[in-house]
Structure 1
């Protein structure tokens, strides 16, 4: 063989090998037929390092999910690229994250947290980018035509909490943020309480990022009364600060039970405050999903163990982490339903609007976002999952107070 022919043959083999490597990097599943499928880019945002509620586990869970699914060949042959953004608990931070999502041409924003719906939804709507499985803290998540919630938001938690407290409490004090989002919470709690023919709770607004809450704690205990009184605090990350102030109140002979909703109180907080010796022992808690010890969470726990075992930001008992897992479960099934080599935002929104039905393994009811599946309540029109769970802290663990889900759709719908 001449030197020229040998050189040509080596060049051909080198080019072929490089091409095979590139195809593998694009996420082609071994043995699959046809060409490589385009990667899919999404974004997950949440606040981190702020004085109010922080949710660093949500972007961390999104990244762990991407590592896991890409190790298996991607979603239906599409490698998943996850961008993260610190929303900073501010309108400007939320808007900046949304504008970056538009610049990066993401297919969807998935499993994110922000109280500032007006700041982030407008840029997403202008670009046609769907918002899938937000935490459920802003009203815009339940009104925008491009939002696809996986839970009933804080509204369903608080309305459900009223129903839960109606079974155990004669008088209730509600400590909640003195914010626009917090202003509706008393109405929702009262709607649930009145299902049990209770009178309205005492409303105690409080600064969201205060360093202590002695005044509000004393007022809450006094108004709860001495006989089967309950103090409910819904202050997000500052709920622990409130109950620290509550615990330091002078001794009283009043028997007052404490309570909250998931996201303000959860297993990580119970663990940090002493487990079975925690002041939260016996506390009533309303959640969206099964308790953290339920075996239906095992697939998520396996992914965390495989891909993020040493990442202290991710706690499988955290409601933000759980919501992110469910949101990515939804996104993966939608991508598979679309089934094309290239996936864009328009494809995803069209599939969701067209009635793709998502199975979350029992962590929620089956989810579908057709018009007829939606709750249609004022400010909560997009809710398709109005179910909650009643939980209680027993021996330091959040466990089911009653089995199964409780539908609070009618309670939310009739709230003022």
Structure 2
């Protein structure tokens, strides 16, 4: 097994059932960057027990920033912009929205610190956040009764915790959907994935989709998560994908932020195998990545990409883009094509509808949880199916009882643009039911 022990132990519970005993990495304690806007508006809302009508509604958004691995600075930045936009329009039910942000630094200790800060600040929810350390922060939120709305979907815990309300199908849905798409269009398929606990769960998810389409399993290749080049992996992937002279092979890099590093090596190694196509998932590639790697001459040209939502060019995103234009124009941290920013928009859309449904009731963690558990139906303007988190067991057998949206979209890179590959959503619930994560 390649990769350093530190890399292999980083993500204890990412896409992993709780029964594992493999240890996680605990990094140095790092102070989260906390910033708050405390704006007050008295608009005659009847106060609920334990709350004043003129107090702001306080929530938290966290994500890693300025780290050597995955970074999602656009998520907390957009959350702040969203609060400015809501407050400029009178708040939610006449109450100002106060967003606190925290840098969880891709570190289990820092993630736990963010969760403790959420409890200390008495937030009513953690909204639109990213962390690979759900096993560290979710127990703290659960102990305080604070809901986690619209996490990025990077860990299995987000699909098992009773206080988690995911808005997408996470990595499981993306990979299962990608496998189903590649089964129809590819010869041999090779997966390049991190040599980590999270990476260990990727092959069976991709294979579930391949199997559903009658395709052979992927050739699994591990890679160091924080490598600076992937020349060896690129050459081996190309060799494995060209073993069938009758069929065009496909290479699937799923290395998060390091996917671009792999593709740089892949571009150089590809000269002798020009017909091999690439495919990946949203989060590993976006429009910004394609632009910075050559546009139409990018190594991503012709790639298949699965996402949770419609393509960034779809007019359904215009309301989000309007918020960015009005409240964050020129903030280069916020990319409307970034899946993290998109998830934060949807998560806050959910939260706003929850608060609006409460009317004059108290807005607290308890009332937010009660409303969500009562089966409130949330509309997201066509960006997802109607969302509702009543208990359901469609995917409980494979460890995803909280997954209420297993829909994915198929996109392709054409002439340097990430565009829809087919219309509408594809539900991969049945594919995921056949996934073997043991």
State yes or no: 1:321 paired with 2:341: yes
Match of 1:270 in 2: 290
Q: Is the 8 A contact 1:39 1:80 kept in 2?
A: yes
Q: Is the 8 A contact 1:228 1:255 kept in 2?
A: yes
SS at 1:42 equivalent: strand
Given the alignment, which residue of 84, 102, 106 partners 2:123? 106
Offset of residue 254 of structure 1: 5.3
Match of 2:88 in 1: 71
Q: Which runs of 5+ in 1 are unaligned?
A: 1-24
Offset of residue 340 of structure 1: 3.0
Offset of residue 377 of structure 1: 4.1
Q: Is the 8 A contact 1:133 1:324 kept in 2?
A: yes
Deviation track 1:102-153 (CA, whole Å, cap 9, x = no partner) reads: 1111100000001111011010011110000000001110000000000001
Deviation track 1:16-61 (CA, whole Å, cap 9, x = no partner) reads: xxxxxxxxx62245xx676744311010000011111100000011
1:238-317 mapped onto 2 (5 Å cutoff): 238-249=258-269, 251-253=271-273, 255-317=275-337
Q: Is the 8 A contact 2:398 2:432 kept in 1?
A: no
SS at 1:269 equivalent: helix
Match of 2:166 in 1: 149
Match of 1:380 in 2: 400
State yes or no: 1:92 paired with 2:109: yes
Given the alignment, which residue of 374, 379, 382 partners 1:359? 379
Question: Could you tell me how far apart the structure 2 residues matched to 1:253 and 1:330 are?
Answer: 46
SS at 1:176 equivalent: strand
State yes or no: 1:160 paired with 2:177: yes
Deviation track 1:261-285 (CA, whole Å, cap 9, x = no partner) reads: 0000111101111212211111100
Offset of residue 203 of structure 1: 0.5
Deviation track 1:260-319 (CA, whole Å, cap 9, x = no partner) reads: 000001111011112122111111000000000000000000000000011000000000
Q: Which runs of 5+ in 2 are unaligned?
A: 1-38, 48-52
Q: Is the 8 A contact 1:389 1:404 kept in 2?
A: yes
State yes or no: 1:170 paired with 2:197: no
Match of 1:3 in 2: none
Deviation track 1:322-358 (CA, whole Å, cap 9, x = no partner) reads: 0000000000000111223531101100100011110
Bigger Rg over Cα: 1
Offset of residue 253 of structure 1: 3.9
Deviation track 1:231-254 (CA, whole Å, cap 9, x = no partner) reads: 001111110001111112263145
Q: Is the 8 A contact 2:77 2:334 kept in 1?
A: yes
Match of 2:234 in 1: 217
Given the alignment, which residue of 196, 209, 224 partners 1:179? 196
Distance of aligned partners of 1:301 and 1:377 in 2 relative to their CA distance in 1, 3 Å threshold: farther
Match of 2:40 in 1: 26
Offset of residue 179 of structure 1: 1.2
Given the alignment, which residue of 355, 366, 384 partners 1:335? 355
Question: Could you tell me how far apart the structure 2 residues matched to 1:202 and 1:353 are?
Answer: 41
Question: Could you tell me how far apart the structure 1 residues matched to 2:45 and 2:272 are?
Answer: 73
Q: Is the 8 A contact 1:148 1:369 kept in 2?
A: yes
Given the alignment, which residue of 141, 146, 152 partners 1:124? 141
Q: How many aligned positions are there? A: 391
Offset of residue 201 of structure 1: 0.4
RMSD (Å) for aligned C-alpha atoms: 1.5
SS at 1:232 equivalent: strand
Given the alignment, which residue of 45, 53, 56 partners 2:73? 56
Q: Is the 8 A contact 1:373 1:384 kept in 2?
A: no
| Larger helix percent | 1
SS at 1:325 equivalent: helix
SS at 1:289 equivalent: coil
Offset of residue 374 of structure 1: 5.6
Given the alignment, which residue of 323, 343, 348 partners 2:368? 348
Question: Could you tell me how far apart the structure 2 residues matched to 1:330 and 1:77 are?
Answer: 17
Distance of aligned partners of 1:368 and 1:318 in 2 relative to their CA distance in 1, 3 Å threshold: same
Given the alignment, which residue of 233, 236, 249 partners 2:256? 236
Offset of residue 378 of structure 1: 2.0
Question: Could you tell me how far apart the structure 2 residues matched to 1:202 and 1:168 are?
Answer: 16
Question: Could you tell me how far apart the structure 1 residues matched to 2:392 and 2:220 are?
Answer: 35
Given the alignment, which residue of 201, 224, 234 partners 1:207? 224
SS at 1:240 equivalent: helix
1:388-403 mapped onto 2 (5 Å cutoff): 388-403=408-423
Question: Could you tell me how far apart the structure 2 residues matched to 1:56 and 1:379 are?
Answer: 30
SS at 1:249 equivalent: helix
TM-score normalised over the length of structure 2: 0.87
